């Protein structure tokens, strides 16, 4: 099936044609590990995951590269900017290296719990300083750089296509409108490739370079590492929509200036998660992490389902009301899956009827046309609710669909019955006796009591069943 993706470069839907037949190289901007990821950040990695799984679903072999930015970069906060890693270090009393290690681990814990597949390569910036230096040297040799005030800058005026991705030529930019312009810059939009003149004292992450002891600019790591693992040209580069005007624009400039040819064919950007009024941001107000949601009784996969319910290029409105809806839907999906498993086993694809095939076809078409996960979910529900389709067909198609949804439904098992403490068991038994006596008032009182203890009671023809509320 042909895949179409919306390419930010050109702002249009385009047929996806990889550079190499069945192989796709994709680079996704990863986290800066100076704090926990918030659920808005995580939306981006869920998008990466859906993209990767979709490519794999359609038979591509994907090399998925993601950076771990463990070199400090500037904060915002209307001050003159502080190094994020240093700030975190100062606040916690840990070394910057410890901070990076700690939050890297936290990050992987989060994405694992969201069933986001681990990237083929996760590369730390600090492990690739020499690659960055080599790339800066290439730029220097080709005359794209200048030194000023101890720093090495990229000169955007030497690169005619600068700003193509962000359509900057159409913009009346007010550089420095909100932040003082670095007086060393020849053009306000020039950017630093290598710092030797740190404006921060006690900068503990420093490396030797041909330009002196210092540290790399923010953008160079993505160019250096992506080219190292994917080659000087590759298929897809993704990231948050916020990266279009600065980060990705600068990446393109330095990469294409260094190699003298086109770098990336498809640029894909996810929109933001909106909470209340405005995006979720580490620096302002609402900062919800996955563990906050877990503490409130949601599972990470509730958030995964929530995220799949909106298209990646649309802002998604977060509220607990809509997260509740997602949780309920996910629970219903699990219940249906378990009941189907009790009734049937999957059948070979060759035994699928026309209707089942139609739903699967629509699902595939939805994903193939710019990753329309809400439409894909809708097809799944119509499949599950269609009375003309047998349980075994449903299971077969459901498992297939789940390859992209990523709930691991095939491995799903009835929650193992935890051993309840004796007191609770006694209450359940007492209630059963009351019911035998037809002492309904007593039975209902006990049911309420159990509910307060987090135990839900269901009286079925096969006897009383209970489940523990999460």
Phi, psi of 467 (to 5 degrees): -135, 150
Rounded to the nearest 10°, the torsion over CA 383, 388, 391, 394 is -30
Q: Does 242 bind RNA (CB under 7 A)?
A: yes
Supply the DSSP symbol for 279.
B
Sketch the per residue contact string, 301 through 320, with RNA: x for CB under 7 A, - otherwise.
Answer: -----x--xxx--xxxx-x-
When the beta carbons of 15 and 177 are compared against RNA, the nearer one is 177
Q: Does 387 bind RNA (CB under 7 A)?
A: yes
Smallest distance, Å, CB 404 to RNA?
Answer: 15
Among 160, 174, 414, 436, binds RNA (CB under 7 A): 174
Q: Does 377 bind RNA (CB under 7 A)?
A: yes
Smallest distance, Å, CB 466 to RNA?
Answer: 10
When the beta carbons of 178 and 261 are compared against RNA, the nearer one is 178
Residues 407-436 that bind RNA (CB under 7 A): 435
List the alpha helices (DSSP H) in 114-248. 129-141, 220-230
Report which of 267, 263, 251, 268 is spatially closest to residue 50, judged by C-alpha positions. Answer: 268
Report which of 184, 191, 181, 198 is spatially closest to residue 153, judged by C-alpha positions. Answer: 191
Tokens 């993706």 sit at which residue?
Answer: 5
Q: How many CB atoms lie within 10 A of CB 454?
A: 11
Supply the DSSP symbol for 246.
I
Q: Does 365 bind RNA (CB under 7 A)?
A: yes
Q: How many CB atoms lie within 10 A of CB 370?
A: 19
Q: Does 150 bind RNA (CB under 7 A)?
A: no
Region of 121-129, 296-304, 417-425, 440-448 interacting with RNA (CB under 7 A): 440-448
Smallest distance, Å, CB 414 to RNA?
Answer: 13
Among 175, 292, 415, 425, binds RNA (CB under 7 A): 175
Sketch the per residue contact string, 199 through 238, with RNA: x for CB under 7 A, - otherwise.
Answer: -------------------x--------------------
Distance CA 308, CA 381 (A): 14
Smallest distance, Å, CB 262 to RNA?
Answer: 22
Tokens 């420093």 sit at which residue?
Answer: 206
Among 206, 294, 329, 428, binds RNA (CB under 7 A): 329
Q: Does 280 bind RNA (CB under 7 A)?
A: yes
Concatenate the DSSP letters of all residues of 42-85 into one string: HHHHHHHHHHHHHHHHTT-EEEEEEEEB-S--B--TTSS--BHH
- Assign 258 to helix, strand or coil: helix
Residues 1-20 that bind RNA (CB under 7 A): 11
Tokens 């913009």 sit at which residue?
Answer: 171
When the beta carbons of 167 and 470 are compared against RNA, the nearer one is 167
- Assign 277 to helix, strand or coil: coil
Among 31, 214, 300, 346, binds RNA (CB under 7 A): 31
Residues 97-116 that bind RNA (CB under 7 A): none
Q: Does 170 bind RNA (CB under 7 A)?
A: yes
Supply the DSSP symbol for 117.
P
Among 100, 326, 401, 427, binds RNA (CB under 7 A): 326
Smallest distance, Å, CB 190 to RNA?
Answer: 11
Residue 383, H or E segment:
helix 373-385
Smallest distance, Å, CB 350 to RNA?
Answer: 27
Which distant-in-sequence residues (6+ apart) come within 8 Å of 36 by Cβ? Answer: 103, 106, 107, 110, 289, 291
Residues contacting RNA: total by CB under 7 A: 91
List, in sequence order, every beta strand (DSSP E) within 198-336.
215-216, 234-240, 264-270, 273-275, 316-318
Q: Does 261 bind RNA (CB under 7 A)?
A: no
Smallest distance, Å, CB 347 to RNA?
Answer: 21
When the beta carbons of 44 and 156 are compared against RNA, the nearer one is 44
Q: Does 173 bind RNA (CB under 7 A)?
A: yes
Region of 102-110, 174-182, 251-259, 421-429 interacting with RNA (CB under 7 A): 174-182
Distance CA 150, CA 166 (A): 29
């Amino acid at each position: 099936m042909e895949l179409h993706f919306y390419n930010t470069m050109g702002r249009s839907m385009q047929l996806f044609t990889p550079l190499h037949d069945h192989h796709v190289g994709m680079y996704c901007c990863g986290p800066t590990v100076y704090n926990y990821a918030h659920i808005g950040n995580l939306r981006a990695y869920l998008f990466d995951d859906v993209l990767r799984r979709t490519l794999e679903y359609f038979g591509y072999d994907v090399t998925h590269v993601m950076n771990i930015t463990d070199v400090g970069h500037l904060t915002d906060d209307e001050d003159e900017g502080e190094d994020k890693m240093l700030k975190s270090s100062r606040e916690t009393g840990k070394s910057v290296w410890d901070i990076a290690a700690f939050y890297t681990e936290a990050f992987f814990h989060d994405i694992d719990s969201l069933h986001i597949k681990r990237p083929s390569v996760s590369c730390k910036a600090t492990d690739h300083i020499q690659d960055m230096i080599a790339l800066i040297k290439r730029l220097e040799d080709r005359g794209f750089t200048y030194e000023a005030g101890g720093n090495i800058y990229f000169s955007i005026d030497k690169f005619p296509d600068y700003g193509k991705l962000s359509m900057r030529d159409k913009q009346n930019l007010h550089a420095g409108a909100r932040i003082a312009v670095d007086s060393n810059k020849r053009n306000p939009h020039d950017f630093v490739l290598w710092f030797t003149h740190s404006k921060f004292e006690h900068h503990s992450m420093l490396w030797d370079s041909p330009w002196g002891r210092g540290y790399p600019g923010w953008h160079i790591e993505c160019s250096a590492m992506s080219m190292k693992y994917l080659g000087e040209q590759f298929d897809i580069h993704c990231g948050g929509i916020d990266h279009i005007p600065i980060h990705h624009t600068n990446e393109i400039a330095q990469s294409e200036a260094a190699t003298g040819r086109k770098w990336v064919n498809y640029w894909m950007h996810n929109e933001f998660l909106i909470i209340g009024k405005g995006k979720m941001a580490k620096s302002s107000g609402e900062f919800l992490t996955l563990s906050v949601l877990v503490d409130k009784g949601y599972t990470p996969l509730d958030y995964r389902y929530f995220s799949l319910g909106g298209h990646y290029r649309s802002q998604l409105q977060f509220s607990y009301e809509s997260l509740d809806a997602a949780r309920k839907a996910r629970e219903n999906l699990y219940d249906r899956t378990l009941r189907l498993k009790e009734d049937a086993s999957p059948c070979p694809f060759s035994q699928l009827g026309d209707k089942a095939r139609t739903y699967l076809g629509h699902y595939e078409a939805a994903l193939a046309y710019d990753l329309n996960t809400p439409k894909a979910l809708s097809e799944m529900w119509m499949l599950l609710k269609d009375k003309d389709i047998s349980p075994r067909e449903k299971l077969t198609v459901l498992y297939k669909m789940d390859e992209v949804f990523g709930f691991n439904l095939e491995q799903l098992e009835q929650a193992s019955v935890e051993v309840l403490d004796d007191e609770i068991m006694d209450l359940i038994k007492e209630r059963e006796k009351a019911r035998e006596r037809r002492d309904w008032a007593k039975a209902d009182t006990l049911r309420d009591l159990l509910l307060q203890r987090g135990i839900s009671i269901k009286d079925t023809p096969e006897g009383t069943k209970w489940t523990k509320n999460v």
